[in-house]
Amino acid sequence: EAGVAQSPRYKIIEKRQSVAFWCNPISGHATLYWYQQILGQGPKLLIQFQNNGVVDDSQLPKDRFSAERLKGVDSTLKIQPAKLEDSAVYLCASSNTPTSGPYTQYFGPGTRLTVL
């Protein structure tokens, strides 16, 4: 079974530029998550999709971050304009829809963003 795919793996931009990240979840997984992991910290949830609808975006800085999941499969996360403090690894994860019992989130390799 293929895992969660993300691209690019690395990105370096200057502040005030725009950047976009792409995620392809595990086939059949209805739930998709974007996390931000700043160096030395644990991942923090930015946004969660159930199919193509947003379930939780309470920690997404909506003045500069946006995300979409068209057709309920792939997703893109965009930052416009970027700030220095956005330097982090952006992780995508997916899981089955939890109908009952425990379920597991599977993570992609992440995109390391450096803002200069």
Contacts with other proteins by CB under 8 A lie at 4, 6, 31, 33, 40-45, 48, 55-56, 91, 93, 98, 101-102, 104-110
Least distance from other proteins to the Cβ atom of residue 108, Å: 5
Q: Do residues 75 and 46 touch, judged by C-beta distance below 8 A?
A: no
Q: Which is nearer to other proteins, 42 or 53 (CB)?
A: 42
Least distance from other proteins to the Cβ atom of residue 20, Å: 19
DSSP state letters, 26-67: -TT--EEEEEEE-TTS--EEEEEEETTEEEE-TTS-TTTEEE
Q: Which is nearer to other proteins, 21 or 43 (CB)?
A: 43
Distance (Å, whole) CA 116 – CA 112: 13
Least distance from other proteins to the Cβ atom of residue 112, Å: 9
